[in-house]
Amino acid sequence: MQIQIIAVGKLKEKYLIQGIAEYAKRLGPYAKLSLIEVADEKAPEQLSASEELQVKAREGERILGHIKQDTYVIAMAIEGEMWTSERLAKHVDELGTYGRSQIAFVIGGSLGLSDEVLRRANMQLSFGRITYPHQLLRLVLVEQVYRVFRIVRGGPYHK
């Protein structure tokens, strides 16, 4: 299975980079993981609604440029569905069983994801109604992807 994590912005914090690298290494036997960073749009602190839409649209174009036609897309969105790790594991396992071996998880920038990206997504997933820093969410997501494969394989990590 091929897993992409497409995220807006460059990861800078060393501790997050190290954590992601550790889970990416652990994922090696189960899936091919690629982490793709797209440039975030530079914008002033105060934006009008139309300026916010423009920023998200430009970031969205960059995201969509990395998604192949046959990729199953899961958008990370605060308003998405909240699933347990077991339910996500079952879903990923079913995708693989039915020939959907390319999955992309998409994390937007500080303003979220564009409507175009949300429309392209096959589903929206939320890790809760609280707001995470989008860089920290990358680490949490990579850990959950690793957990998914351990659950599917019946490994002890999940306990």
157: number of Cβ within 10 Å: 12
Ordered alpha helix ranges (H), the chain: 14-27, 49-64, 85-97, 115-120, 134-152
Chain-centre distance of CA 121, in angstroms?
A: 11
Residue count of the chain, please give it. 159
Check whether 130 is labelled as a binding-site residue: yes
Q: What's the token pair of residue 69? A: 């036609």
State how far the Cα of 31 lies from the Cα of 19, in Å rounded to an integer.
18
Check whether 131 is labelled as a binding-site residue: yes
Check whether 17 is labelled as a binding-site residue: no
Cα radius of gyration rounded to whole Å, the chain: 15
Strand partners, 96: none
DSSP state for residue 156 in the 8-state scheme: G
Check whether 105 is labelled as a binding-site residue: no
State how far the Cα of 135 lies from the Cα of 153, in Å rounded to an integer.
28
Check whether 128 is labelled as a binding-site residue: yes
Mark the binding-site residues, compressed into ranges. 108, 127-132
Mark the binding-site residues for S-adenosyl-L-methionine, compressed into ranges. 108, 127-132
